Structure 1
Amino acid sequence: MKRYLSNINKPAVWNSMLLAGTVLLGASSCTKNFERYNSDNTGVNTNLESLIRHEQRAIYNFSGGGDPNSFQLQQNLNADCFSGYMMSANPFGGNTNMNYALVSGWNGEPFKVVYLDVLAYVAQMKQLKVDEQYPPVWAVAQITKITAMDRATDIYGPLPYSQAGGNKTGIPYDSQKDIYNSFFTELDEAVASLKSFISSGQKLPFDFGAIDLVYGGDFNRWLQFANSLRLRLAMHIVKVDAVTAKAQADKALDPAAGGVITANSGNMNIQIVGAGFDNPLVHIAQSWTDINIGASIQAYMSGYNDPRIGKYMDKSTDALPALNGQYKGIRIGSTVLKNDYVTYSTLNFKDGKTPSFNSTTPVQIMTAAEVYFLRAEAALRGWTSAGGTAQALYETGIQTSLDQWGVADANYITDATSKPAAYADPKNAANNSPALSDITIKWEEGVTPERKLERIMTQKWIAMFPEGQEAWTEFRRTGYPKLFPVVNNNSGGLIDSRIQVRRLQYPQNEYNTNAAELNKGIQLLGGADNGGTRLWWDVNKGNF
């Protein structure tokens, strides 16, 4: 059973800006027959299929195949837990991210992945002149890059972006504001390219559908995802720059842009194909038994009698009568021993005739339900481009999620009495907590905008499961849903238990190899390089 625990205190062996030394050594000539490219001397395979698929898989990293060590550190032992979705029964030696003793040897992984498994591969495509010869393919590569890079900047804050791949050392950091503005500009270019290609009726000289792990070469669906991604990014910045947020949301929702995702057939999922690849979250839960369900998601869904609960999680197998056959998550920061807590609920990979999760379950990045909830918030803010009332879009978001998971409940949307449940741990009462919210499901028109937003965000959070990265971002942005705080906070006062983790610290290797520019980046961050410092868009003020 593979573990990263042995690497907790080891310095990183990669150079964060290895990108600069590799991507500029690409193939010296181009040919339209990508199938005949050989691997270059950087170790990056220049076959277009390999480049595209590697980049797509690296969003939620399982690019190397085999066991998903990278994903465990890229997301699972940080955002998946910070979002309230998950918690590990494995103590991993005691002081870890789960009790806010943020582990430097773990938390450099998202940084490494975005440069060496995303930007490096995009740069290889640039070297092969994919942008000139196959504009729609380049547009897909750019959209994928933005998806991955947004996750990285929303983890750390300022990052090298505009000049990444230039010099081998001394790579400048961009502010998060500038990075977001670059995203919007790049989405303009990608959307224009896709619209032009689609309207032209032209065909590529090769089968892109056989390469594309997301939409099977359907550029119309890539266009809708690009617009939906723009809407997501716009909403991220609404508290820090409401003018730009509205302008970008209006652009995303303009029918002339090509539309957003409106049906589950348009969900942004990465397919699991090829020898040696499996769903990394399922692998960690099933094969390693390293991750369980978090107390927050279990308590909300139990309290709501949510029909999706059995799709999301399995029932406890513990022998204790208070646990056996019950849905029971683990509260973040609990003192755990694996033999005691591994029997609590985990992903549903075994309950029922057709468990929801298996080794080939596609990796979920964005769903139609999320887009409806984004539009519901836009309508709540008075943005007429939302295309409906906040209530109608909220209710459609819930129904779309129920449809996605194949469950039916005629009364769920109109339930005005069910509330999130309290949490009780039969094995340790120190982990108990009362419910922190009394928000119900049924829409209420005559309440404050803040109360309406809590209702939207709570259902959005439930619907986005198990994608913890975006769920953590939205919790930080809005404060919703109200998550159980960490039981044991071992941050030494750096992270406030009440407002919870706001970011991850920069990798030690950046201090070793790019210190001067990193220190400028920390100045752009506007606070200390620790888990308690807020990002640019994470403004400490009300939502309205």
Structure 2
Amino acid sequence: MKSISRYIMLLAVPAASLLTSCTKNFPELNKDTNKVSPENNIPIYNLTRAELEYTGNHDFSFETWRVNIIYCSLMTQQLASTVGWYSGDKYSANNGFASSYFTMAYGNQIKYIDNMLDNTKGKPNYANLYQVGRIARVLIYQRLTDLYGAVPYFEAGTGVSSTPAYDQQQVIYADMLKELDEAAKALDNTKDQIGASDLVYRGGTDAVNSWKKLAYSLMVRLGMRLSKVSAKDAQTWVEKGAAGGTFASNDDNAYIIGDPSGGRNTINRNSNILSGEWDAVGKGNVYLGKTMVDFLQSNNDPRLQYLAQISSTGDKTPSKQIGMPNGYDENNAANDIKTAPGFPGAITNYSTIQKNIWLKTDGPTFLVTYPQTELLLAEAAQKGWNVGASAGTHYANGVSGAMKQLAQYDKSAVVSDADVATYLTAHPYAPATALEQINTQYWAACFLDWYEAWSNWRRTDFPKLKPVVYPGDNNGGQIPRRMLYPTTEASANGASYEKAIADQGVNTFTTRVWWDK
């Protein structure tokens, strides 16, 4: 990574701005005091910062900890926790946690990508960079709208209004797909090359083509989100993405590498929280979930040897791993973890993450991957859509790719071709149970990207997760279906907020986003 700390110095925002709600300060955000004059602007630095913020790598990066880990990892049952403030384990509502991504996205990600687009639009010397910015903007907004549903989109970050309107998710999705289509078609390798300050593909002669593949792979993801609300539109966009040219191998994966030399701002944020400065794994705040360990263990999945170890002993033997069930505490009452079936004698005898592979501060944060894309194409093919290969072929590619992807976390985590073949022989594509099979594999392939694991679970309801029953604030024993808007929205942007509520539903965990039907 190219000395990313210097970009942060050039583009830094005061840390105090992270502690306020976004729309409470929409006038300030829209004025954007960090925006420099066009003649002094280096647009790719704004792309750098937007990409960095998208991975959560900001000092006091609450959204990664609070939404990706505290909520999504636990609700999808890949991790488990007995710590009370890890709210997602029991579905308890903490507005400050659940709204943090909304606040941070508008305070940082959107501001930087919009600045970059403003300073590149219509300029021939930035023709490709502008298209890359459009694709990056879709990445940012898709996650945001998937978490919250209706959000400010067309008026956000433009300076048009200090109280921007919320746009309904179906309108946002239509525009995002249009943006991907136009940007992918406009990318031209004979024009400007994308420099090494792009943290995703890091420059090189093939960066333009790599972004084109990313656009079409992202189009497949967006298209599949529509599968329950508009199968016709879903098919149209997924087929268009497949025809355009999606990722062909793990070499195409879109990811950002952490840079410890830049300090808190640039290290891998998941790693810093789970293993580094805050060390949630070492402190026993989180363990691997029983659902995750049981799935890998019961299927003799070769990934387990590189994922899990017993917390107390470091034993990595797959057959000895024990996942912690969700929904327990350490309060010496009915839900105490010691009362859980199969309690291993001490809480530290549960399995936890192998830090040396998954949680390095210079490790990758994956954005969109080849195995994810192939598994979505497998589902599309199972539905009879024309996506270039059979469902069985895409399924095998996805499973194999997910296993081979581990080596991108650490070179020692090599799943052999023989182990992949053995697994696929034992678990071949099965048309009768294809939707569950494919999407359970997708869930497993999204480890650490729990935003995406939760979104695809909401779309498909696979894998079949058993909700936690816990006393008190437990969302009625239902796994949440969306995150919460900041409470300050009701006063700071009242009219727009109230209209969003009227159109979408009350601001609760049980109100579903548009595509989650």
TM range (shorter): 0.7 to 0.9
For the 8 Å contact 1:96–1:103, the answer to whether it is kept is yes
Select 1:309's aligned residue among 283, 304, 323. 304
In the alignment, structure 1 residue 147 sits paired with structure 2 residue 139: yes
Identity %: 27
Specify the alignment match of 1:371 in structure 2.
373
Q: Which runs of 5+ in 2 are unaligned?
A: 1-17, 332-336, 339-345, 407-413
CA distance in 2, matches of 1:154, 1:512: 24
Q: 1:96 to 1:130 in 2, by over 3 A?
A: same
Specify the alignment match of 1:473 in structure 2.
455
Aligned length: 462
CA distance in 2, matches of 1:15, 1:397: 38
Equivalent residue letter for 1:407: V
In the alignment, structure 1 residue 162 sits paired with structure 2 residue 154: yes
1:71 positional shift: 1.6
In the alignment, structure 1 residue 202 sits paired with structure 2 residue 191: yes
For the 8 Å contact 2:62–2:100, the answer to whether it is kept is no
1:202 positional shift: 2.9
Equivalent residue letter for 1:117: N
CA distance in 2, matches of 1:106, 1:16: 16
For the 8 Å contact 2:155–2:164, the answer to whether it is kept is yes
1:389 positional shift: 1.2
Specify the alignment match of 2:25 in structure 1.
18
Superposed CA RMSD? 2.6
CA distance in 2, matches of 1:246, 1:52: 31
SS in structure 1 at match of 2:328:
coil
CA distance in 2, matches of 1:54, 1:142: 15
In the alignment, structure 1 residue 250 sits paired with structure 2 residue 229: no
Residues 121-200 of structure 1: pairs in structure 2 closer than 5 A: 121-129=112-120, 132=123, 133-165=125-157, 166-194=159-187, 197-198=188-189
Specify the alignment match of 1:432 in structure 2.
none
1:49 positional shift: 4.6
Residues 330-349 of structure 1: pairs in structure 2 closer than 5 A: 330-336=324-330, 341=347, 344-349=350-355
SS in structure 2 at match of 1:154:
helix
1:136 positional shift: 1.3
CA distance in 2, matches of 1:324, 1:474: 27
Select 2:38's aligned residue among 30, 35, 58. 30
1:495 positional shift: 4.0
For the 8 Å contact 1:68–1:283, the answer to whether it is kept is no
CA distance in 1, matches of 2:36, 2:253: 38
Specify the alignment match of 1:488 in structure 2.
470
CA distance in 2, matches of 1:12, 1:168: 22
Q: Which runs of 5+ in 1 are unaligned?
A: 1-10, 32-36, 38-45, 416-440, 540-544
Specify the alignment match of 2:490 in structure 1.
511
SS in structure 2 at match of 1:269:
strand
What are the Cα deviations for residues 93-142 of structure 1, in whole angstroms up to 9, with x where unaligned?
A: xx833211110111121101221111111222234345534121122222
CA distance in 2, matches of 1:311, 1:131: 48
For the 8 Å contact 2:83–2:329, the answer to whether it is kept is no
CA distance in 1, matches of 2:29, 2:146: 25
Residues 206-285 of structure 1: pairs in structure 2 closer than 5 A: 208-217=194-203, 218-254=207-243, 257=244, 259-273=245-259, 274-276=261-263, 277-285=266-274
For the 8 Å contact 2:226–2:234, the answer to whether it is kept is yes
Specify the alignment match of 1:538 in structure 2.
516
For the 8 Å contact 2:121–2:130, the answer to whether it is kept is yes
What are the Cα deviations for residues 44-91 of structure 1, in whole angstroms up to 9, with x where unaligned?
A: xx6535421221122221134xx6444201421111222222223433
Equivalent residue letter for 2:227: V
1:344 positional shift: 3.0
SS in structure 2 at match of 1:187:
helix
For the 8 Å contact 2:43–2:116, the answer to whether it is kept is yes
CA distance in 2, matches of 1:77, 1:297: 16
For the 8 Å contact 1:261–1:367, the answer to whether it is kept is yes
Specify the alignment match of 1:327 in structure 2.
321
Specify the alignment match of 2:5 in structure 1.
none
CA distance in 2, matches of 1:103, 1:356: 28
Q: 1:291 to 1:345 in 2, by over 3 A?
A: same
Q: 1:326 to 1:515 in 2, by over 3 A?
A: farther
CA distance in 2, matches of 1:12, 1:516: 24
1:19 positional shift: 4.7
What are the Cα deviations for residues 299-332 of structure 1, in whole angstroms up to 9, with x where unaligned?
A: 101111110012223333269x9x9993223222
CA distance in 2, matches of 1:332, 1:317: 20
Specify the alignment match of 1:57 in structure 2.
52
CA distance in 2, matches of 1:271, 1:130: 28
CA distance in 2, matches of 1:89, 1:251: 45
For the 8 Å contact 1:313–1:345, the answer to whether it is kept is yes
SS in structure 2 at match of 1:307:
coil
1:398 positional shift: 1.1
When the two structures are superposed, what TM-score results if normalisation uses the length of structure 2?
A: 0.83
Q: 1:187 to 1:17 in 2, by over 3 A?
A: farther
For the 8 Å contact 2:22–2:104, the answer to whether it is kept is no
Specify the alignment match of 2:415 in structure 1.
407
1:461 positional shift: 1.5
Specify the alignment match of 2:343 in structure 1.
none
For the 8 Å contact 2:68–2:449, the answer to whether it is kept is no
CA distance in 1, matches of 2:476, 2:183: 39
Q: 1:16 to 1:342 in 2, by over 3 A?
A: farther
When the two structures are superposed, what TM-score results if normalisation uses the length of structure 1?
A: 0.79
1:342 positional shift: 5.6
Q: Quick check: which one's helix share is greater?
A: 2
Equivalent residue letter for 1:295: K
Specify the alignment match of 1:542 in structure 2.
none
CA distance in 2, matches of 1:19, 1:251: 37
Q: 1:191 to 1:395 in 2, by over 3 A?
A: same
Specify the alignment match of 1:382 in structure 2.
384
1:504 positional shift: 1.3
Q: 1:281 to 1:28 in 2, by over 3 A?
A: closer
For the 8 Å contact 2:81–2:287, the answer to whether it is kept is yes
CA distance in 2, matches of 1:117, 1:414: 47
CA distance in 2, matches of 1:341, 1:512: 44
CA distance in 2, matches of 1:324, 1:318: 14
1:162 positional shift: 1.1
Specify the alignment match of 1:502 in structure 2.
481
SS in structure 1 at match of 2:367:
strand
